[in-house]
A = this chain, B = another copy of it.
């Protein structure tokens, strides 16, 4: 029953796609931190629609306004609230929707949960747009992490069966490379192919899904808990809040189900007298706790639910079966934008765990 995430670094999100606005409240932000709002804006911009043809034509600028918690370029340490106003809404596009349940969307479940009172326009509170304030919070968290030597990166690993290279060196340069180009991949050519596949699906009035790889380097060993707040638990909890996510896998998680233990185990070894691991199949964690190796996980997205082709459904007002023809502007693939969301959302998780690990009690 919670719009609030976190133990020490807490983020509360609110908003609906077609209400006056949306936003977030960040509680537990370290005081006096020189938060660079331009970096936040850039992250918001990477999530915003219309960067490429893969995305909806809706022109939201996602301009945010900070209401409190920020003074003279620094965080005050008290709650930081930011709001984003909705401007470019074509609520008319959603008229018909108000009675036809959109397949793959939360229309029916929202109807049940909120007893018909929810704002269904544009997905309301279920809209991917609610990830904008989450990106705001994550872009702030990423800066605090960076100041502590931790880099969080992500790229589109796969769309429509086309695969990008995997992160390999986990240098800051590599982790941030996907932010440099038009499309968040390591190999630009793969990005172009992905875009073509997305465009093809769109022209066929359909959509595609994909996979994002997230990684964090510089994370100290010791973050996370055995029960119940394992590192995996905390990351997965957050990732599965993001609309469209249907699977999360850590390290070589999915492949490992068919491996032998002798292949899956990462052997400790010494490097300059320090304990490291000879491989990183586990994705940087053992027993729910970070082991000092890069953290790696994959987030799987289902194909966008909003597609232009006619779909069978039910009119919940008339109580009759009907055919839905969606209008409005929709991404034929949300993965490129979602890549920015999960990267920043991962930073929110990581900062909270880092702050918890700072506590030692003696």
Contacts and interface: CB of A to CB of B under 8 A. Distances in A.
Interface in A289-328: 289-292, 300-307, 309, 311-314, 316, 319-321
A324 B222 CA distance: 23
A244 to B, nearest CB: 10
Contacts of A287: 105-106, 109-110, 126, 243
B359 A206 contact: no
Contact of A300 (B21, B254, B269): B254
Contact of A106 (B9, B286, B360): B286
A119 B81 contact: no
A8 B126 CA distance: 19
Given A124-B78, A247-B254, A10 B14 contact: no
A247 B303 CA distance: 20
Contacts of A2: 7, 10, 27, 225, 227-229
Given A15-B81, A101-B268, A238-B233, A247 B246 contact: no
A264 B158 CA distance: 17
- Of listed A10, A81, A148, A307, residue having the most chain B CB within 10 A: A81
Contacts of A144: 361-362
Chain A: interface size category: 35 or more
The 4 closest A-B pairs by CB, nearest first: A106-B287, A246-B253, A32-B117, A207-B261
B28 A1 contact: yes
Nearest to A4: B4
Contacts of A38: none
A13 B81 CA distance: 9
A39 interface: no
Given A77-B113, A243-B287, 5 more contacts: A12-B12, A108-B275, A201-B260, A256-B302, A257-B302
A7 to B, nearest CB: 6
Given A67-B83, A249-B246, A261 B307 contact: yes
15 contacts: A1-B27, A2-B10, A3-B228, A16-B76, A20-B65, A22-B67, A106-B286, A130-B227, A206-B260, A230-B240, A232-B245, A236-B239, A247-B248, A254-B254, A355-B360
